[in-house]
C-alpha cells in the first residue's frame, strides 16, 4: 500500500485500461466560499476490476464517482473513458456515453415509483431504441438471474429495500455496460441482504467481465474489493490491491 502518494496508477498487465483520471480537482462554492472536494486526483482503473473507493464522509468519494460517471465535471483536470477524453463532450454526447457504457447503482435506489420492476429495468433500453420484445425478454431474464422474477409487475413501494436494490442492479446492467458505478449500494440494507447483493455483483464481475467501482465505507464491501483506494480530504491517501 502506498500512502501519501497522489499519483495512483493501476499497473495490472492482464486487463486494458477503462478509466483514467488526470489531475482532477473539484471546487464547490458554499455561500461564496470555495470548498475543495477533490485536490488533484490521478487514477487509472483496469477493465474487469472490482474496486472500492473508501474514506470518511466528506472525503470526496461521491464527487469522484460522479465525475467518472460524467454526472459532474471537474473544475480542473481530465477524465478518459476507454481512452476517450470526455471533458470536451457536449451534454448530449455525455448522455449517450452514460447510456451506452455506464450503469449506475445509487444508495437511494432511484427507481421510478410509478413503474413496475420490469418497466424500470426496461427504461434505459427504451431510451436506446431497443425493440420492445427484445427489451422485455432481456429484462425478464435479468430479473430471473437476480432471483426476483416474481416482482416483475410490482412497483417500488411494494418491495423491500433489498429487492429494490436488486431491481436497480438489473437496470444498471440492462444495457450491457462496460462499467458499473455504485455509490454506497449497501448503506440502506441489512447485513444479510448486503452480502447477497455483493455476491451478485461479484458474480456479474466474474462471469460477465463488468468493471465495478464502488464508493463505500462498509467493511463488507471493502473486504471484497480486488483493489481498495483510500480517499482522505480530497486526495488519494492509499492504494491496496488484494
Judged against a pLDDT cut of 60, whether residue 11 lies above it is answered with no
Mean pLDDT lowest among 40-44, 103-107, 131-135: 103-107
Average pLDDT over residues 180-189: 90
In the chain, the percentage of residues whose pLDDT exceeds 70 is 94
Q: Name the pLDDT band for 7 (thresholds 50, 70, 90).
A: very low
**pLDDT at site 191:** 87
Judged against a pLDDT cut of 90, whether residue 187 lies above it is answered with no
Given the candidates 2.60.120.620, 3.30.70.141, 3.90.1150.10, 3.40.50.300, the CATH classification of the domain at 7-241 is: 3.40.50.300
At 194-210, the pLDDT tens digits run: 888 899 899 989 999 99
Average pLDDT over residues 94-111: 92
**The three three-digit cell numbers of residue 162, written as one number:** 433489498
21, 25, 30, 31 alpha-carbon torsion, rounded to 10°? -130
Higher pLDDT, 175 or 23: 23
Judged against a pLDDT cut of 50, whether residue 154 lies above it is answered with yes
C-alpha distances in Å from residue 148, one per residue of 30, 101, 122, 145, 212: 43, 25, 15, 8, 22
Q: Computed over its alpha carbons, how large is the radius of gyration of the chain? A: 18
Report the predicted TM-score, pTM, of the whole model to 2 decimal places: 0.87
**pLDDT at site 192:** 85
**pLDDT at site 193:** 84
**The three three-digit cell numbers of residue 228, written as one number:** 481498495
Judged against a pLDDT cut of 80, whether residue 127 lies above it is answered with yes
Please write down the HEC assignment for all residues of the chain. Answer: CCCCCCEECCCCCCCCEEEEEEEEEEEEEECCEEEEEEEEEEEEEECCCEEEEECCCCCCHHHHHHHHCCCCCCCEEEEEECCEECCCCCHHHHHHHHHHHEEEECCCCCCCCCCCHHHHHHHHHHHCCCCHHHHHHHHHHHHHHCCCHHHCCCCHHHCCHHHHHHHHHHHHHCCCCCEEEEECCCCCCCHHHHHHHHHHHHHHHHHHCCEEEEECCCHHHHCCCCEEEEEECCEEEEEEEC
Q: Where are the domains of the chain?
A: 7-241
Cα 87 to Cα 25: distance, rounded to the nearest angstrom? 13
Judged against a pLDDT cut of 50, whether residue 4 lies above it is answered with no
Average pLDDT over residues 70-96: 94
Amino acid at each position: 500500500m502506498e500512502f501519501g502518494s497522489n499519483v495512483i496508477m493501476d499497473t495490472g498487465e492482464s486487463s486494458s485500461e477503462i478509466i483514467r483520471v488526470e489531475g482532477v480537482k473539484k471546487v464547490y462554492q458554499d455561500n461564496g466560499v470555495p470548498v475543495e472536494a477533490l485536490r488533484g486526483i490521478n487514477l487509472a482503473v483496469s477493465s474487469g476490476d472490482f474496486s472500492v473507493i473508501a474514506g470518511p464522509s466528506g472525503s470526496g468519494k461521491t464527487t469522484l464517482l460522479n465525475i467518472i460517471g460524467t454526472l459532474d465535471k471537474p473544475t480542473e483536470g481530465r477524465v478518459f473513458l476507454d481512452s476517450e477524453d470526455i471533458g470536451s463532450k457536449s451534454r448530449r454526447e455525455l448522455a449517450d456515453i452514460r447510456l451506452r457504457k455506464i450503469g449506475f447503482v445509487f444508495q437511494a435506489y432511484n427507481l421510478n415509483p410509478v413503474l413496475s420492476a420490469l418497466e424500470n429495468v426496461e427504461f434505459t433500453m427504451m431510451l436506446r431504441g431497443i425493440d420492445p420484445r427484445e427489451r422485455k425478454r432481456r429484462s425478464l431474464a435479468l430479473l430471473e438471474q437476480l432471483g426476483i422474477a416474481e416482482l416483475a409487475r410490482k412497483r417500488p413501494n411494494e418491495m423491500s429495500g433489498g429487492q429494490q436494490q436488486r431491481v436497480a442492479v438489473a437496470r444498471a446492467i440492462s444495457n450491457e455496460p462496460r462499467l458499473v458505478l455504485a455509490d454506497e449500494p449497501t448503506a440502506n440494507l441489512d447485513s444479510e441482504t448486503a452480502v447477497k447483493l455483493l455476491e451478485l455483483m461479484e458474480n456479474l464481475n466474474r462471469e460477465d467481465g463488468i468493471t465495478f467501482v464502488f464508493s463505500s465505507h462498509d467493511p463488507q464491501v471493502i473486504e471484497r474489493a480486488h483493489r481498495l483506494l483510500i480517499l482522505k480530504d480530497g486526495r488519494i491517501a492509499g492504494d491496496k490491491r488484494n
